[in-house]
Structure 1
Amino acid sequence: MKKGSTGCGVVLDGGVHTTVTIGEEITNTEIFLNKNKVVGDTSRAVVEAITELPVKVESISDIPIGCGFGASGAGALGTAYALNYALGLDLTASKLNDIAHVAEVGNGSGLGDVTGQAHGGILIRKTPGAPSIASVDCIPSKENDVYCAVLGELSTKSVLSNPEMVKNINAAGKEAMKKLMQKPSVENFMTCSKEFTMQGKLASEKVLDAIEAADSIGVTASQAMLGNAVFSMPSPSTNYELEEIFSEFGTVLKFKVMTGSIKIT
């Protein structure tokens, strides 16, 4: 509950859609992602924290997997909320959010995604921890366009289990947060995020090249943490040009900042 990360990030309007099935025909808990059976440790941990019944969890993602978009946290939240509804448990949002956070931290798939996703917007996590105990604030924002170039996968667990990488991230993050809090605007967030990318030493050459290419048209871009992807929130006048530039490096996806976070249908 107390473990997590500090920082600032953007919650996107793309996410993971999760359905759970419970019944006599379900004899073992099974996790499916985009119709493929997976181990799904994080979502499985959510199931085990909520019920002893076997459950079929089916998640469909419209965000990339393993690329820094927080898919595991989104899947954990979806599983928790779907189970609460299906079993009629009447757990509060705070409880469900915390269950998802603990599952993610325990499985090394993330440290702060669930807290950000539980609130939405451009969230500042001032202290680490589960959504119910972390101190948070938010940069006021419209539903700005967010352009992303997906360059490949980067395992969050491999980064978080590497002491040298974590040391670099912590040092760079501390400095970036200090600068952000002096001027918590969307523009300064992008600037601080870019500086964090450079100092954190996680970016591949291709990520750095994409950031430099965006710079050439006066647009600030940064690495999606922790992933092999680049994102930016450009002004409308540069949207088309940035999309063209990003397309030279990888698959381009367009989202909006999601000011609300969880929808139950």
Structure 2
Amino acid sequence: MPSSVKAFSPGHISGYFSRITKPTTGETGSIGAGIVLKEGVIASVTRSAETTVTVIADGVRTFGSPPLEEALRRLSVTAAVQSESNLPIGSGFGLSAASLLATITAADALFSLSMSGDEIALLAHEIEVLHGNGLGDVAAELGGGLVCRTFPGIRGVISRNMDFQGPISIISLGPISTRDVIGSAESMERVQSAYPGCCPSDMDDFIRLSRRFAESSGLITPVIRKILSACDEAMVPASMTMLGEGVFATGDRAAALLSRFGRVYTTTIAGDGAGIVEVTP
């Protein structure tokens, strides 16, 4: 019987989305397209008499996480959890979903709960929706690639394009509250009307559709406008991270250009979804 288990889940950048509300949290979610990132979350789950949660993101340590604590309560287990990522929280990287997927995956293995992949994903998705942290990240992070989702819930992904192999450069200047956007009728009306209604054929098409969505949805902030304008001038393909005050761009010149505005995170498309990485006896 192991004393601790580590699991990893990739992150996810949503390029465009549309909310779909159904009678249950499991059915509620979003459709849209995004990139599953090689960078993500490693969750370490250790047996403990009481539940404690430590979150380390981009070097910042915080204590407690209502979604992760709820996940353990629903599993009827207590554990010490450490969720760690090189990316910042609340900035459009799908880290809330990744933390849940990694933590539940590790807890399932640690406590021999014999959950199926669908059961793990559904629990993570329901908690995401209940806490207003995301709508489609869990489904995307179950695998890698450039992802298109055409119906809500954990089985909404219809395609995973693995062709793009180049670097993805990202700048994050701070969070945009997902809860505020998806909870605002006015914001969601603009988002719904901006949705392009199709899947991208490749990375270039994804960035084009994402940028069109960002422009039409009214979510672009003044500082993001400045960065996107610089990318346009340099002919660097770029769009806004959904939902975060950030920009993602591709191409060999993207990192240098974005570095003029702040710290740049460079990653690639993930080849796989969430899974166990280490078991300690």
**Common fold, TM-score beyond 0.5?**
yes
Map residues 2-17 of structure 1 onto 2, 5 A cutoff.
2-17=27-42
Report whether the alignment pairs 1:91 with 2:115: yes
Match of residue 162 from structure 1? 184
Aligned residues of 1:126 and 1:137 also touching (Cα < 8 A)? no
Instruction: String of CA shifts for 1:120-152, please: whole Å, max 9, x gaps.
Output: 2111001111x1x42522234233311101111
Contact 1:80 1:100 in 2 (8 A): yes
Paired position in structure 2 for 1:187 = 204
* Structure with more helix by fraction: 1
Alignment partners' CA distance in 2, 1:209 and 1:161? 27
Give the 3-state SS of the residue equivalent to 1:11 in structure 2: strand
In the alignment, the residues of structure 1 paired with residue 63 and residue 220 of structure 2 have an alpha-carbon distance, to the nearest angstrom, of 28
Structure 1 counterpart of 2:47:
22
Measured after TM superposition, the shift of residue 9 of structure 1 is: 0.2
Contact 2:139–2:157 (CA under 8 A) maintained in structure 1: no
Q: Displacement, 1:194?
A: 0.6
- Higher relative contact order (Cα pairs below 8 Å, separated by 6+ residues): 2
Where in structure 2 are the equivalents of 1:166-245 lying within 5 Å?
166-173=188-195, 176-178=196-198, 181=199, 184-234=201-251, 239=252, 241-245=253-257
| Per-residue Cα deviation, 1:132-191 (whole angstroms, up to 9, x for no partner) | x42522234233311101111212112121111111111112xx233xx3x622211110
- 1-structure distance, mates of 2:117, 2:101: 10
What amino acid is the match of 2:65?
A: G
Change (3 A) 1:134 1:242: closer
Residue number in structure 1 paired with 2:168: 146
CA deviation map 1:222-262 (0-9, x unaligned):
1110111100222xxxx1x3222211222111000002122
1:89-146 superposed Cα distances (whole Å, 9 cap, x missing partner): 12111211111111111110000011101122111001111x1x42522234233311
Q: What are structure 1's unaligned runs of at least 5 residues?
A: none
Structure 2, unpaired ranges of 5+: 1-25
Structure (1/2) with the larger strand percentage:
2
Provide the aligned length of Structure 1 versus Structure 2: 249
Percent identical among aligned pairs is 27
Distance in structure 1 (CA, Å) of the matches to 2:146 and 2:74: 29
SS of equivalent residue, structure 1 residue 20: strand
The TM-score with structure 1 as length reference comes to 0.89
CA contact (8 A) 1:8 1:122 kept: yes
TM-score (norm 2): 0.84
- The root-mean-square deviation of aligned C-alpha atoms, in Å, is 1.6
Query: Is residue 67–residue 131 contact of structure 2 (8 Å, CA) maintained in 1?
Result: yes
Contact 2:36–2:141 (CA under 8 A) maintained in structure 1: yes
1:103 aligns with 2:127: yes
State the secondary structure of the residue aligned to 1:124. strand
CA drift of 1:21 comes to: 1.6
